[in-house]
Amino acid sequence: MPLKKIAESLGEVLPGELLQDVKQNVRGVVQGSLDKMNLVTREELDVQQKVLARTREQLETLQQRVSELEKALQDTANP
């Protein structure tokens, strides 16, 4: 059952003051659970994805350069 429907159902059954208390308690429990999960923001995720992409490009460039140097070393060792 979606949370919105649950909230609507509770709103129909509970008196206003009790409903506000329930909402605050639920909000506190959900926020506490989310805090324990060590979640990151979308912005933090985007930054890390860009860093990873840049690092991957650098790694590929270095791998290519090492291959070229190895080939050059083999060519000079075996004239």
Q: Which of 3-7, 20-24, 39-43, 67-71 has the lowest mean pLDDT?
A: 3-7
Predicted pLDDT at 63:
98
Residue predicted with more confidence, 70 or 33:
70
SS (H, E, C) the chain: CCHHHHHHHHHHHCCHHHHHHHHHHHHHHHHHHHHHCCCCCHHHHHHHHHHHHHHHHHHHHHHHHHHHHHHHHHHHHCC
pTM value is 0.54
